[in-house]
Structure 1
């Protein structure tokens, strides 16, 4: 069922008000915006109140309307999507070459977050039964980030994140985790050997987006453990391509 003509015209009027408000660096009052958009004042007032309520506009103390934080969020999200579109082919190539799901994470606002997962029928993703923000110590992707952090940042992260016991193989003490991170034989790659999910192993390497640290990795069934060296050798140049792509200005 299509949108009604009334709804469509309301959306069009709201966009006209946003465009008019964006043309005034210091904002403009409702009467001026109504005049510039050709809208009845009552209609403009109603739409402006709605746009303010939803965060698309902000009303200043002097009564002027300026663009709100919600639009900045949309812009930032759009920029992030444009960046991710550059690296999805790299993740897809990893998936196809290794028949393994590929993952990209970033360390933002003190949390390790999944930015992208590329999987398929022959390369299913791991069962993300615990969010990555609560499992950085147990995933190769999280441990890759933790390994690259300086001592102070790593201690700060671990002070805020309990090392939950997710499987019988999960490391649950900070000292043991740090020792493993600093002595891994596959450096700069790190592994998760059934520490996050029984039956699943993962390998990850660091990437960067400007000053933002992240990680690139793949997950595999436990019976593919013998391929870890092969996986590492494919991940490293792929991580380089991801970092180069993410360093380009949009």
Structure 2
């Protein structure tokens, strides 16, 4: 039996306490397995008593779970993820569309969106244990180096697109990453012309990705809308992409058509 731990003192109120609690949650999420309070205190650079207090609060609310080996994410988080999908208006059928792409094309598929000035991957077929996947669900910070980012940015007015890129930068991920705004504008012109985007070793060496816009069939008030605000993409190793590029692109096109009407996304 693990040694009992004294009841933690209440966490100090205020923004700093909130920041530290969220830092703890992030640290536990990034760990490969259960992590101890002492390890978390070292990582955050704060006192053990403070860490125990915050861990107590997070555990009591279900965001973390404690075992003899340490702390892991709690059972509350799946409910938060479902609420996230509901608020993002992700239909259950959308995940089935992505799974069909995975079965037919043998490539991990993703659904991404632009909303309120941010780009994020909202759903995908990457296995939970796959730590080497090119993309994962969450906020996108390197949209300029991804096929889905190109599709979504190509839908923005030029001024809004430049504002987005200026705020986040165009970090060089590989030697093939486009880091020039002018060259990127030319790339997006090609995306609008062709109706899809391709990224070859721009985000990660040895990997390639193709993305197609999903066109919303109706706006919040029921009006027709044709501008792409979401995208479906697929990523796979470059050698396989080279062999199956045409069939993969067609599979993504079909998936995008299937996804029309499954989600209405406000921009």
Fold match (TM-score > 0.5)? yes
The Cα shift of 1:215 comes to 1.0
Structure 2 equivalent of residue 126 of structure 1: 133
Q: Does 1:228 align with 2:245?
A: yes
Distance 1:185 1:147 in 2: 7
Q: Does 1:239 align with 2:256?
A: yes
Distance 1:187 1:102 in 2: 20
Aligned mate of 2:158, from 151, 158, 181: 151
The Cα shift of 1:156 comes to 2.1
Structure 1 equivalent of residue 231 of structure 2: 215
Q: Which has the larger radius of gyration?
A: 1
The Cα shift of 1:125 comes to 6.9
Structure-2 change in CA distance of 1:241 and 1:143 (3 Å): same
Once the two structures are overlaid, the 10-residue window that deviates more, 111-120 or 210-219, is: 210-219
Structure-2 change in CA distance of 1:81 and 1:170 (3 Å): closer
Structure 1 equivalent of residue 201 of structure 2: 194
Structure 2 equivalent of residue 113 of structure 1: 120
The Cα shift of 1:226 comes to 3.1
Root-mean-square deviation (CA), in Å? 3.3
Structure-2 change in CA distance of 1:74 and 1:236 (3 Å): closer
Using structure 2 for the length normalisation, give the TM-score: 0.58
Q: Indicate the SS of the match to 1:245.
A: coil
Structure-2 change in CA distance of 1:136 and 1:218 (3 Å): same
Aligned mate of 2:93, from 54, 65, 86: 86
Using structure 1 for the length normalisation, give the TM-score: 0.61
Q: How many residues align?
A: 176
Distance 1:98 1:147 in 2: 25
Q: Does 1:176 align with 2:183?
A: yes
Distance 1:126 1:186 in 2: 29
Structure (1 or 2) with the greater helix fraction = 1
Q: Does 1:99 align with 2:94?
A: no
Distance 1:180 1:145 in 2: 13
Unaligned runs of 5+ in 1: 1-53, 55-72
CA deviations over 1:20-45 (Å, ceiling 9, x no partner): xxxxxxxxxxxxxxxxxxxxxxxxxx
Once the two structures are overlaid, the 10-residue window that deviates more, 138-147 or 224-233, is: 224-233
CA deviations over 1:61-93 (Å, ceiling 9, x no partner): xxxxxxxxxxxx999636247734121110000
